[in-house]
Amino acid sequence: MKTIVKLTLVALLWSGVYTIGENTVNAVHPLSVAFIRFFLTTLCLFPILWWKEKETWKLQKQEWFPLIILGLLGISVYNAFFFLGLKESGAIKSSVIIAAIPMVTTLFASLLYRERMTINQIIGVLLSFGGVFLVVTEGSLQSIAAVTNGDLWLMGCVFLWSIYTIFGKKYMQRTPPLKYTSYTAFFGALFLFPFALFMGSLGTIFTASLTNWYQILYLVIFGTVISFFWWNQGVKEIGPGKTSIFLNLVPVFTALSLLVVGQTIQLVEWMGTILVITGVSLTNLKLRQSKKTAVSDEKTV
């Protein structure tokens, strides 16, 4: 499956994290949801890791520190902030704040890895973000004007995920995506446990309804195991800046998912969808051209 297709599917799956996650955190404490999400993810990933990479599944000495730090920042702290913010700000508003990640990631990447932003990328980011705002605000900024504690949690997520994505590229040069995803999930769950136990009313997990458990399983299987693996593959193959652009599709898919439950999609939302898709396509135009050039160069050698 092509990288661009995988990352588009990641955006679709993560849109479900917003809509389903919003319902889940209203029944189970956000910190408990964050912990159980990555605890179950770890249980899913490690058997696969051992099966596929029997010779190299154990961490080497030089891998411990970076993966612990990335698990702490990109998994435990990020998800604590995310679910706390999601509960207060709701699915749509959360998705537009998180959509700022591509710009922050691209800026950080251009500074750290000298990933030069092309005109296509700049225009694509602006179009995508403009489309996101159309979708989530219905053409009016009034709905996101008031900054809440939830908004601040989510703004913290923007910087944390940018760091996770950028430094993930560096360490995935020598650590396979599956191994990287498995261990960051493990360390993330480990750090989340005491907060879920003492601050997150962990006992609410055991009183959750069957519907809540179905929601949690979606967060684990589709929103984490599959999505994180494909995301980390994307970071390794096309870089953090280009990969993060696909987050702009999440608010669009979040809005469209409401159509499934009977909500009418307004004209401004369709306009936003077109802008986001155009922006993502324009941003990746340079990527596709570069790959074609690389193939052509190989043939001439």
**DSSP per residue over 104-166, as a string?**
HHHHHHHHHS--PPPHHHHHHHHHHHHHHHHHHHTT-GGGG-S--HHHHHHHHHHHHHHHHHH
* pLDDT of 295: 36
Neighbouring C-beta atoms of residue 113, cutoff 10 Å = 14
Q: What's the pLDDT band for 293 if we cut at 50, 70, 90?
A: very low
The number of beta carbons lying within 10 Å of the beta carbon of residue 270 is: 15
Minimum mean pLDDT range among 64-73, 239-248, 287-296 = 287-296
Q: What pLDDT score does 10 carry?
A: 94
Contact 41, 178 (CB under 8 A): no
Q: What is the dihedral of CA 121, 122, 127, 132, to 10 degrees?
A: 90
19-to-44, 83, 153, 163 alpha-carbon distances in Å:
23, 12, 18, 25
Q: How far, in whole angstroms, is CA 68 from its chain's centroid?
A: 19
The region of weakest confidence among 35-44, 201-210, 291-300 is 291-300
Task: Count other Cβ atoms within 10 Å, centred on residue 9.
Answer: 17
**In the structure, what pLDDT confidence band is assigned to residue 54 with cuts at 50, 70 and 90?**
confident
Most confident segment among 11-15, 58-62, 120-124, 237-241:
11-15
Contact 228, 181 (CB under 8 A): yes
Higher pLDDT, 44 or 126: 44
Please give the structure tokens belonging to residue 251.
Answer: 């608010």
Residue 284: helix, strand or coil by DSSP?
A: coil
Rounded Cα distance between 50 and 130, Å, is: 44
- Residue 87 near residue 236, CB atoms below 8 Å: no
pLDDT in tens, 194-224: 988 887 677 778 788 899 999 999 999 999 9
CB 184 within 8 A of CB 227: no
Q: What pLDDT score was predicted for residue 296?
A: 35
Burial of 24 (0-12, 13-18, 19+ CB in 10 A): buried
Predicted pLDDT at 202: 78
Does 299 have pLDDT greater than 70?
A: no
Structure tokens at 178: 């599956």
Lowest mean pLDDT among 28-32, 49-53, 66-70: 49-53
> Taking the chain, what is the end-to-end CA distance rounded to the nearest angstrom?
28
Q: Region 28-46: what's the mean pLDDT? A: 92
Q: Which residue has the tokens 């995920």?
A: 161
Check: pTM over 0.85? Answer yes or no: no
Contact indicator for 87, 150 with CB cutoff of 8 Å:
yes
The tens digit of pLDDT for each residue in 92-149 reads 778 877 877 777 777 777 777 776 777 887 887 788 778 777 766 667 666 656 567 8
Q: Which of 8-12, 136-140, 226-230, 279-283 has the lowest mean pLDDT?
A: 136-140
pLDDT tens-place string over residues 143-182: 656 567 888 898 899 889 888 888 877 776 777 888 888 9
* pLDDT, mean of residues 246-257: 81
3-class DSSP assignment, residue 301: coil
Please, are residues 255 and 138 in contact by the beta-carbon 8 Å criterion? Answer: no
| pLDDT in the model for residue 107 | 72
Does residue 297 register a pLDDT over 50? no
Contacts of 212 (CB under 8 A, 6+ apart): 23, 24, 27, 28
Q: How far apart are CA 286 and CA 290, in angstroms?
A: 6
Question: pLDDT tens for residues 252-284?
Answer: 888 777 677 666 656 776 787 788 777 767 766
Mean pLDDT in residue range 68-72: 92
